[in-house]
Amino acid sequence: MNEPLVFMFSGQGSQYYHMGKELFKENIVFRQSMLEMDAIAAQRIGTSIVEEIYHPAKRVAEPFDSLLFSHPAIFMVEYSLYKVLEDRGIYPDYVLGSSLGEFTSAAVSGVSDAENILDCILEQAIVIQKSCDKGKMLAILDKPQLLNDYPQLFGNSELISINYDSHFVISGEEENIKQIMEALKEKQILCQLLPVSYAFHSSLIDPAESAYAEFLRSISFKKPSIPVISSLTGSCLHEMDKHFFWNAVREPMKFREAIRYLESQHTCRFIDLGPSGTLTAFVKQLIPGDSTNRCCSIMTPFHQELKNLNTVECFRKPERKFAR
């Protein structure tokens, strides 16, 4: 049981209404963290994120794609779940974020406090909504060679991630992504539209860069106290400069490379703190051998988080607590 423990945090596309509902109802640490951050967000945007996440009229299957709500909501549930694990004496040896999940990694690793990171996320959502046209992200369950096989079909999209050998993601304008979806269905190629209203990791969000860069000039960041493995670089980060918090959502994601980097250093164990367990599914495709015993998730759309939380007790390593 000496394998390094990695906490993983996912980004846009992993969210849904009522995520973490059982934890919010039953776990005082999770609920308190959510409410504290909700109060901070409400001061900034004038409305409650928590009320939107757990709105009684919303169903899990409905797209949760309003950026001003979904952007902070992902961070809030991930960071609150981290606080639950911390309360139980379960600490990471590494943190690994993908896209918006990089912001949760930054907060957990002590680069900045959760309030500052939440402010960075809210500002990013505000600037993108104000500056950018809407777009879509499409996950495709096939080999990336498909892009070369049908160059005309994918010409108006951008490859933003290869998650494993038969799963990649593209971004683009809504109409172009719709046409690609229809063509793929005709070819009987599985694809899934992500619940995202902007084309992250593509040139379509470039109009927001200058305003967001101006905001970031006023924020200071420290060196991480827990090693950060980044899907921006596919390797270990020793510091996060101001450009990182834009590049993390603009540049292509290198989650596959990040996992390969980690596994080249250690045989690791992974806990996915994202809402959907998406990164667990990716890791199981990327690591050899008995991946089931080395990787788990807690939150799911099926509200099994209390049961799943009890299964991670074996990951407890109190001696790994990092000083702040």
Q: What is the set of active-site residues?
A: 99
Q: Give the whole-angstrom CA distance, residue 170 versus residue 301.
A: 24
How many Cβ atoms sit within 10 Å of the Cβ of residue 51?
12
Q: Give the whole-angstrom CA distance, residue 15 versus residue 68.
A: 13
Do residues 170 and 158 lie in contact, with contact meaning Cβ atoms separated by under 8 Å? yes
Place of tokens 């590494």: 94
Structure tokens at 152: 């005309």
Please list the alpha-helical segments (H only) found in the chain: 21-26, 28-45, 49-53, 67-87, 101-108, 114-131, 146-149, 151-154, 174-186, 209-216, 244-250, 255-265, 278-286, 305-311
